[in-house]
Amino acid sequence: ATDEVGEVTQPIEGGYVDEATTHVVGLVRLGNQGIATCSGTLIAPNVILTAQHCVAESSDGGFVQCGATRFYPSHEASSFYVTTRVSLSQNAADYHQVAEVLVPPGGDEFCNFDQALLILDQPIPVEEAVPATPRVDVPLVAGEIYDAVGFGQTGPNGSSGTRYRRNDLYTDCVGTECSVTTSAQEFEWVGEAGACQGDSGGP
């Protein structure tokens, strides 16, 4: 048997600027190599759900080989900031500081463990953003409608850093139903379209 190979860089393409969904946040990491951006979801006043590959490097540099690709330790929490604004800005007052990064326990494997929680140093006021409730009680099935929201690129040569939304997309497959041509694992799913680099971690 051979391991599937997939790519983790995925932008909201063909969407529209979303000023209303403030619980979808822009995630910025300041580091020696410059600025890295991702998306995330506010699920409690001081908790952001995002992708682990937004907070940690992996051993295969963006190409995932299940069973082999591993996460390195997370970057320092103090290097991460989140904003509920519609666009990433250079105004420090628009951002909330991350105090702690939590990743799934039980190892450093990439596949099935590409999630992370960011604990903020202060809660986000409800007037600024109302947390979303994660769907964890009903299994996802193929053919369900979803909306993609994130701060990624708007196309292969498009810009990033503004929250875009694309509605009425469909899930192609869930978990082991997915084709061997994808890298989706037991607790993952594949969507129709719509996401680009920088949208990782968004809902």
pLDDT at 6 over 90: no
Rounded CA gap, 165 and 194, in Å? 9
Provide the token pair at 103.
Answer: 């990743």
Q: What backbone phi and psi angles, to 5 degrees, belong to 16?
A: -140, 155
How far apart are the two ends of the chain, measured CA to CA in Å? 33
pLDDT of residue 9: 38
pLDDT at 36 (0 to 100) = 83
- Buried residues in 144-154 as b, exposed as e (16+ CB within 10 A): eebbbbbbbbb
* Mean pLDDT, rounded, for 77-106: 94
Give Cα 36 to chain centroid, integer Å. 13
d(CA 33, CA 9): 18
Separation between Cα atoms, residue 120 and residue 161, nearest integer Å: 21
User: What mean pLDDT is predicted for residues 173-179?
Assistant: 82
pLDDT tens per residue, range 49-68 = 999 989 998 887 667 788 88
Lowest mean pLDDT among 41-55, 109-123, 187-201: 187-201
As a whole number of angstroms, the distance between CA 154 and CA 132 comes to 24
Q: What is the pLDDT of residue 157?
A: 61
Residue 4 has pLDDT above 50, yes or no: no
The SS3 of residue 92 is helix
Tell me the percentage of the chain whose pLDDT exceeds 70. Answer: 82
The region that residue 14 occupies, defined by phi over 0 for left and psi between -120 and 50 for alpha, beta otherwise, is left
- Give the model confidence (pLDDT) of 95-126 as tens digits: 999 999 999 987 788 888 889 999 999 999 99
pTM: 0.85
